[in-house]
Each structure stands twice: as structure tokens, then as C-alpha cells.
Structure 1
Amino acid sequence: MTEMEKQAAKLDRISNLPWDVLDTILVNLPLREAARTSILSSKWRYKWTGLSQLVFDDKCFSSSLSMEERWGEIMKIIHMVQSYHSGPIEKFKLAAYCSPNFSDLEEWIQYLMDKGIKELILQDFGFVKRFKLPCGIFSCPQLTCLELYGCVFKLPSTFKGFHCLKSLQLTQVSIISDILESLIRNCPILERLTLLNIDHLASVRIHNSSLKYLKIDSEFEDINLENSVNLDSVDIRMIPMYGGIITRNNEQSNSCNFDRVFGCLYDIKRLTLSCHFLQWLAGDQVQERLPIVLNRLLFLDLKEVTLSNFKEVMVSLSIVKSCPNLEELVITVVQSNGSRPAMDCFTGLCLCGFMFHKLKVVRIRGIIGTRTELEFIKVVLTLSPQLESIIIVNYLGDRIPESLLLEVDRASEHVKIISLAL
């Protein structure tokens, strides 16, 4: 080596770093920028193809490319990786809106299984047809994170479980209720579960004591959270099947809906529910309180609530009355006319001596100024001695005049009333 080459080698300290250090540097760059390091020198020409993490997102491509062209560019990179990659691939994320070829995608997933993939994330393709998952994915013991989009999910008879899986998200996936239940049972350390727009999911039965976070935004008829005792955060948005009609099955007639949802939520701190799910909870009768006291619940978000709907109001109040330590309440209401039964519920809340002892922040969205809405706001002000702020948002017109609430008795001397219009 000449003296000049020796000096150059001393100056090029980055190229001589251990590969694990270089990999850490490159995986923190967008994939497009990591690939551009190939022009630095002959040493760098193929370094980027050995990355342990590959993330394809919109930053990788020009916005002018069509979905088919994007997939073509992705396949060019995939072929380069297959030709020159050595070592493991721990993470693969496909979050670029594209139109993949099914056979190419299945072959690539199988390649990732052979590479010891730990995090496999597929998001938002530009097609409706469901593709079949390679069987190899079910014998991949090291998976810790699995997010699947647009596939048909069937468990092979040889499936023994995902024993390292901590996070599972299924979006627009075709899976039947029994298979979903079996899958969740066989993930012994699963902590996060997200189900979005699942195809024809009749019943959601979740039995997993390690689960801490649950989000469901999908069509379904029935739900049971039995034995999911460590849930910390629950977000359920129910989309009714069969044209919007909420049906009841045999299992529902044998036990109260409240019991099967809230019966074991001892540690829950955050809860988000939508209107159709509130109607489902009500069933044929509404309990005054939940079957358990949600002592640890600090945040409650009730979405799309019709304040003139007696059952929705009763269910909402039964939940609120079971949360003695609630600190933040968010309610999004839909347009509704005045309702005497609903207003009687609010009056009854005052007469029974109930108080929001710990409530500090209230956000009420979608208000248009109906009598029922104003009655609810007055009740909150009257029963909340620790209230710091109440934020009222009107989506359709002018903000609600604060003068309407100035003469209302307030349990808190320091509450700020903020009225907004969006």
C-alpha cells in the first residue's frame, strides 16, 4: 500500500467501522438515502444491501410514480438484496402505497422467514383481492411484531403458536372467529392487539392474560374479553353487520353484555367506546353500574354519542359512575333533538348525590347547542369540584356563547370554559 493509500485509509474511518456499527447508522436513514451511499466508493457499492432493517415507504419514491411502477422499483431493490445480502434481516416494513404482484410478495415473505425476520409489517396496498400467506410464516418462532394487510389468514394444523410475538395488527384480513381466537390464545406474551376492518368477523373472543392494549375498529356481532385481566388500554368501535342492525345471538342471551366486556378489566386506565358499541352493551336492559368498579380508569372517550338516545345516555352514565378516579372525559356527540328521558337521566345523576370527584378535564365535541347538550354541560359543571377546564367544540357553526353557562352553579371555582368552532 502506498503512503497516499495509507493516508486515505486513515481518513476513511467510517468505512472501516465494524458492520454492526455501520448497520446502526444506515438503518436510521431513509432507505433511499441509504442506497445512495453506493456512490461513495467501491467499498460502499453494496453495503446498503446488507441492512438488517428494510423500510419501504413514500419517502423512497417519487410521487409521480404509479402504484405498479412503485412495485417495480421495490422489486429492483429486493432483487439486489437477495443477490448480495448476508446475515439476518430483522425488520421489513412495506408502507408505500403500491400494487404488488402476489407471487413476488409471497416469495419475498418466504425469503424473510429464512432470514430470521422479527418484525414483519405490511400496510395499505392498492388492491381488494386477498393474497394467501406463505405457510412458512407460521413456523417463524422469532417473530415479535406482525402487521398484516389484505391477506387470507388460515392456521396450519402444525401451528404451535408465536411464542415471542408481542404486537399483532390485522387490517382488512380475512379470518374467521375460531381461528382468531386460537391465534390470540397461542401468543403467550402478546401485549398489543389491533383489529381493523376484518372481513365478516362474527364474534371476537379474546382470552389472553398478557394483553395490555386492545383496539378494534371493525364489523362484528359479539365480543368477550374473558380472562384478559391485564388490559391497560381498550378502544372499541363497532360497525354493525347486516345493514346496521345490531343482532343478538345465543351467547348474548345467557349473560349480560357488560359482564363479558368489563368483568375482568381490573387494571384498565384508558377506555374508548363508540355509539354502536354502547347500544350493543345496553342490550335489552341497562345496569345502573358496571359489574366491577374501574378504580384505575383515568381517561374515558365516548365517541358518536346521541344524547337524545335514552339507552346510549344510560350506558354512558353507568360507565362514568363506575369510574371514581376518572380525570379526563372526552365525548363526541352527534346531532340530536331534545329528549325528556335523557335529560331526566342527567337530573337523576344530581339527585342521587353522585360527584365527579377527580375529574379535571372535559372535552365535548360536536355540540350544536340543543337543550339536551346544554343540560349535560351544566351537570358536568355542577358535579365536578376538581374541574380545571371544559372545552366545548362546535363543528358546524358558531361557537356556543359562554354567557349561556355563566349563571350555572359550578362545583369548581377555578374551572375555565373554552368554547370553540371549527
Structure 2
Amino acid sequence: MKVRIFVGLNAKVSDRISILPQDIIEKILTFMPIRDASRTSILSKKWRHCWKGMPKLVFDESLINVSSDIEEVKTYKLVITISHVLLLHRGPISELCICITDAFIKNEFDLIILHLSWSKNIKKFIFKVYRYGEYYKLPCSFLSLQGLEHLDLRCCEIEVPSMFNGFSMLKSLKFYEVNINATMLQRFLISCPLLEEFTWIGQYVTDFRGENKFTFADLCKCLPSVQVVNISGVYIEYFLAGVMSQKLPTSLVYLRVLVLEVCFHEQDQISSTLCVINSSPNLEKIKLKMVGLYVEQTLTALLDPQDYSGLKLDHLKELEITSFHNYAPEMEFLKLVIAKAHVLEKARIELCTFVSVDKENKMLRDLLNLPFPRASPTARFIIENEAN
């Protein structure tokens, strides 16, 4: 948003910016970086302290301009700036974003979070403080942010005490490379009764390894109101393990969007994925990424569509599969969805780069010559190649 301020020769016209309504001033500042917003203090007396009441604060490397090549110097300068802004800030902070890479100063960030914990007004918190190979361990004071509705944590480590009261207002939780063991994750989730969206993405080994299994059956008990689930990376092997029945003990009646990474050469992951889908009667979108090393000869008998004759996808409108190899279990899954999704509007299949043109043509022929009618004859199919 560009803000243009015209100053004329007439004294009354020149002070036009001072007569702007307070809500307009706040709206203008909302679209400005903190560094630029603080500079508006020189415009007039009315603007002098307005930036200190900004409800949305974003702290990242663009906040400072330091010529030094030493990352520690840049980070220290940034931390000091964050502390200074927070100390001068007046009024509630509804949205806060702190994203710093390459280095961090642990003790200073502990103090910053302690300062923030006194506020009950922060509704959205995005926090990423990362140095390669290190996780920032959140202090206990972080758990005092009781007003949170949206929490996005990246490259952090969390310990949840047994006396944790939970975030009673939390609706959206996103973990990216967050290190937390199964017991503490369960303790964390079960204490957030209003949670509607849960995302956990990561590629590194976590404390889950070696513990008792924490499957999707356990997860759904902690998320009775969840509407969006997105799990990928190393975590998926723990959630999609051991569930071999047709349905989960607890139905995910509110689930609308399911995003998973699935290895279709693992029988338990295939059956677990179908179990989750079969236990979510109101699903509107399914997005799967096929992962793992495939050996086509061993995959012919892992999925029998006859076992899922009772599967219902009455509300599914969109299906997306990426890294599709066109192997037997994947194709059988696709056919199963086509046969069951009566209101399907779009199916997008992104082929793996290893799929040859001949295999792609064969796949198209198979989809055109299905031995059964498609449940949704108007569904639009989009076949793309990963390399394009």
C-alpha cells in the first residue's frame, strides 16, 4: 500500500495529515514495516506516538540495516531493536511475527518471551529463531500466552509440564521442524479443545523415535473439532502405523481437508490412510504426496478395492496427488476414489519425473476405459508432469 501525503503552501492544507482520524492512521501503519512506521513520528505531534500502538508487529532481518558481515553482530542488533520496540509499545498486540535465521541469542529471546507472556491480547504468534543444527528451546513462560488463537512455531523444542492448562482459545496450530515427544504432544493437543487446524511438517528425526506408537487413532482423540490436518515428513510414519481396521474408534466428523505424505509400498500406511478417510464422512479435499522407494513388482497386492466397498466420499470435491508413480496401489486408490466420490469436481494428478511417456499414456487409457462408470461424470481431471 502506497501512502502519498501532499503538503501545500497554505498552513491549513499543510497540516492535513494531523486531522486524519485515528482509525485511518492505524490502518496506514498496519501496511508499513515497523522501521518505516516508527519514522512517521516526525510527521506531526499527532503521529509522534501512533506507531507505538500498532496491533501487528513483524520482526525479521529487514528491520535493521547493519553493514557488518558478522552474523552475530546483525542478530544482536536485531534482538536489541526488538526489545526496544516492545518496551516502547503501548496498547494490545494482536499479531506478532518474529523470524530470524542464521543465529540467535538464547538468553535475550527468553527475556523477550517472558515480557510477551504478561500480555493476554496476542492472538496470532509466528515464531522462528533458527541456527543450522540447533533448536531453540522455548521457555516455560511461553505457555502463559493464554489468548492465542493461531500459533505457528518453527525450529523449536517444546517441553510441556504435566500441570499445563492448555491454550483454551487456540484454533490453528502449525509446527515446522518442532521437536516434541509423543507424550508431550498428546498433553499439548488435549489441552486445546477448540483446535480446528493442525499442521506438523518436518524432515528430521525427533524424540518420537523409540517411543510407544502415537497413531492417528490417538491423534484424533486429541482433536475432536479438527477441520484441517496436514502431516508430512518423518512424523507420518508414526501416525500412519498400526491402524489396520476399516474405521477409527472416533470419527472425525468435522474434518474437511486432509493433507498427508504417504508411502504406498507400506501396507500399514495404505490401510491407515484409507482408515482415516473412511472415518471422515465430511471430507471435501484430499491431498496426498507419494513418497518412498518403489519396487513395482512387490506392490501388486497391497490394496484390494473390494475391501473398501463401504467407503463413502459423499462430500469430496477435490483430489490432489503429487509424485504419482502410476504403480498398482496408487492406481487402485485413484480408481477407488473415482468410484466413490459422487460430487468430485476436480482431480489433479502430478506425475513423478520418473514416469515415462509410455506409462503416462497407459495411465490415461486406463482412466478412460474404466470397467465401471465414474461416480461424478463431470469431474475435471488434470494430469501434469512434476518436471513441467
CA RMSD of superposed structures (Å): 4.4
In the alignment, residue 171 of structure 1 is paired with which amino acid?
R
Measure, in 2, the Cα distance between the counterparts of 1:94 and 1:414.
Answer: 46
* Aligned-residue offset at 1:290: 0.8
Single out whichever of 313-322 and 408-417 deviates more from structure 2: 408-417
Single out whichever of 401-410 and 85-94 deviates more from structure 2: 85-94
8 A Cα contact 1:343 1:375, kept in partner: no
* Aligned-residue offset at 1:315: 0.9
Partner residue, 1:417: 381
Unaligned runs of 5+ in 2: 1-8
* Aligned-residue offset at 1:10: 5.2
Partner residue, 2:267: 310
8 A Cα contact 1:26 1:51, kept in partner: no
8 A Cα contact 2:247 2:279, kept in partner: yes
8 A Cα contact 2:63 2:78, kept in partner: no
In the alignment, residue 230 of structure 2 is paired with which amino acid?
T
Structure 2 residue matching 1:289: 3-state secondary structure:
coil
Structure 1 residue matching 2:336: 3-state secondary structure:
helix
Give the % identical residues: 20
In the alignment, residue 178 of structure 2 is paired with which amino acid?
I
Question: Does 2:300 match 1:337?
Answer: no
Q: How does 1:272-283 map to 2 (within 5 A)?
A: 272-274=230-232, 277=235, 279-281=237-239, 283=241
Q: How does 1:130-145 map to 2 (within 5 A)?
A: none
Measure, in 2, the Cα distance between the counterparts of 1:307 and 1:349.
Answer: 16
Q: How does 1:48-59 map to 2 (within 5 A)?
A: 50-52=52-54, 54-59=57-62
In the alignment, residue 369 of structure 2 is paired with which amino acid?
E
Partner residue, 2:321: 364
Q: Deviations over 1:200-221 (max 9, x none)?
A: 635234457xxxxxxxxxxxxx
Partner residue, 1:8: 11
Structure 1 residue matching 2:131: 3-state secondary structure:
coil
Of 327, 348, 359 in structure 1, the residue corresponding to residue 306 of structure 2 is 348
Question: Does 2:13 match 1:32?
Answer: no
| Number of equivalent positions | 368
Q: Deviations over 1:194-246 (max 9, x none)?
A: 344334635234457xxxxxxxxxxxxxxxx5576544333345768579x95
8 A Cα contact 1:206 1:228, kept in partner: no
Partner residue, 2:197: 233
Partner residue, 2:154: 171
8 A Cα contact 1:364 1:391, kept in partner: yes
Partner residue, 2:368: 406
Q: How does 1:143-292 map to 2 (within 5 A)?
A: 150-154=136-140, 161-177=144-160, 179=161, 182-183=163-164, 185-199=165-179, 201-206=181-186, 226=190, 230-237=194-201, 241=205, 246-249=209-212, 257-263=215-221, 265-274=223-232, 277=235, 279-281=237-239, 283-284=241-242, 286-292=244-250
Structure 2 residue matching 1:391: 3-state secondary structure:
strand
Q: Deviations over 1:373-420 (max 9, x none)?
A: 223323332333333322110131456222332111332322322210
Structure 2 residue matching 1:26: 3-state secondary structure:
helix
8 A Cα contact 1:307 1:333, kept in partner: yes
| Higher-RCO chain (CA-CA 8 Å, sequence separation at least 6) | 2
Partner residue, 2:346: 389
8 A Cα contact 1:358 1:384, kept in partner: yes
Of 318, 336, 349 in structure 2, the residue corresponding to residue 379 of structure 1 is 336
8 A Cα contact 1:328 1:360, kept in partner: yes
Measure, in 2, the Cα distance between the counterparts of 1:117 and 1:353.
Answer: 47
In the alignment, residue 366 of structure 2 is paired with which amino acid?
L
Q: Deviations over 1:344-393 (max 9, x none)?
A: 5333246x353433333211110122233223323332333333322110
Which is greater in Rg?
Answer: 1
8 A Cα contact 2:61 2:78, kept in partner: no
How high is the TM-score relative to the length of structure 2? 0.73
8 A Cα contact 2:182 2:211, kept in partner: no
Structure 2 residue matching 1:420: 3-state secondary structure:
strand
